[in-house]
Amino acid sequence: MKRSPLTTLCYIEKDEKYLMLHRVKKQKDVNKDKWIGVGGHFEEGESPEECLLREVKEETGLTLTSFSFRGIITFLAEGWPTEYMCLYTADAFEGILTECEEGTLEWVEKDRIMSLNLWEGDKIFFRLLLEGAPFFSLKMSYQGDQLMEVVLNGTPLNLSGTL
């Protein structure tokens, strides 16, 4: 079955920390050694919220009870199909954190996030999340690990500067 180009990604918040996934367990992983949120590809017939809830439960053991749809991110990368990612934050959940097959889960202080091994584009949407930006559309183009172009809400950004 062909993978959906639609994905979800969620940053779960607790005590001024985000739950981060350090992708260290899979050998063939585009995110190998990177720190990301939790989420994954839509299954046939799922809504964004159904995918979000299923993926968070599968990867963390947690059931979200409060979450917000924060933005849509379009990823373009050489050699990969276009991916459309629904970005969420969550601030309430139930359950006990379990181990994840894809990496190590860790609660990381928000002020330490930027020092982690993140994708360059992730730093941009983290900044938007931390600033409390309203719903946004972000398009990012990569060549390998190199971020080549960023467009925020239809406006190209200068990559050498900040938002």
What mean pLDDT comes out for the span 16-35?
Answer: 79
Tokens found for residue 62 = 């947690």
pLDDT for the residue 33: 77
Read off the pLDDT of residues 89-131 as tens digits, 9 standing for 90 and up.
999 999 999 999 889 999 999 999 999 999 889 999 989 998 9
Per CATH, the architecture of 6-156 is what? Answer: Alpha-Beta Complex (3.90)
pLDDT for the residue 90: 98
Residue 58, Cβ density class (10 Å: 0-12 exposed, 13-18 middle, ≥19 buried):
middle
Distance CA 135, CA 76 (A): 20
CB of 78 closer than 8 Å to CB of 143: yes
Distance CA 18, CA 122 (A): 14
**31 — pLDDT class (breaks 50, 70, 90):** low
**28 — pLDDT class (breaks 50, 70, 90):** low
Sign of CA dihedral 42, 44, 46, 50: negative
Q: How many other CB atoms are there within 10 angstroms of residue 94's CB atom?
A: 8
Report which residue type is found at 49: E
Domain boundaries, the chain: 6-156
Average pLDDT for the chain: 91
State yes or no: pLDDT of 27 exceeds 90.
no
**pTM for the whole structure:** 0.91
Contacts of 117 (CB under 8 A, 6+ apart): 33, 34, 35
CB of 11 closer than 8 Å to CB of 52: no
Work out the angle at residue 84's Cα, subtended by the Cα atoms of residues 71 and 43, and round it to the nearest 5 degrees.
110
Q: What is the CA radius of gyration of the chain?
A: 15
State yes or no: pLDDT of 34 exceeds 90.
no
Read off the pLDDT of residues 139-151 as tens digits, 9 standing for 90 and up.
999 998 889 999 9
Tokens found for residue 87 = 């970005």
Give the range among 21-35, 48-62, 94-108 with minimum mean pLDDT: 21-35
What mean pLDDT comes out for the span 56-68?
Answer: 97
Token pair 């969420």: residue: 88
State yes or no: pLDDT of 76 exceeds 70.
yes
